[in-house]
Amino acid sequence: MTYIVNDNCIACKYTDCVEVCPVDCFYEGENMLVIHPDECIDCGVCEPECPADAIRPDTEPDMEKWVEFNRKYSELWPVIITRKDPLPEAEERDGESGKLEKYFSESPGEGG
């Protein structure tokens, strides 16, 4: 089992999760985070830290695409270990549907 970040993170990018991760397996894109599924140790401490409920175990239904999505971008984006402010539109976009199609950016974040 591993944890993944899904599209609830897009356009919010809360980073409360990165500070509690004991193995630094979060990677930062321009407008979301992902978890490297091969680095995650399945401890689960990140899941309750996410205000947008964007971190889920891969054992839930239909998570295969998110495992591969997280793997792909964690290999392209820089690691993030320090908490940052969420995106300015985070509260407004939290819970919005269709965020992958509307807002996702493949560009990397700054990391750090």
- Domains recognised in the chain with CATH numbers: 3-81 (3.30.70.20)
pTM recorded for the entire structure: 0.96
112 residues of the chain, pLDDT tens digit each: 899 999 999 999 999 999 999 999 999 999 999 999 999 999 999 999 999 999 999 999 999 999 999 999 999 999 999 999 999 999 999 999 999 999 999 999 999 9
Per-residue pLDDT at 1: 87
Per-residue pLDDT at 43: 97
Q: How far apart are CA 39 and CA 36, in angstroms?
A: 5
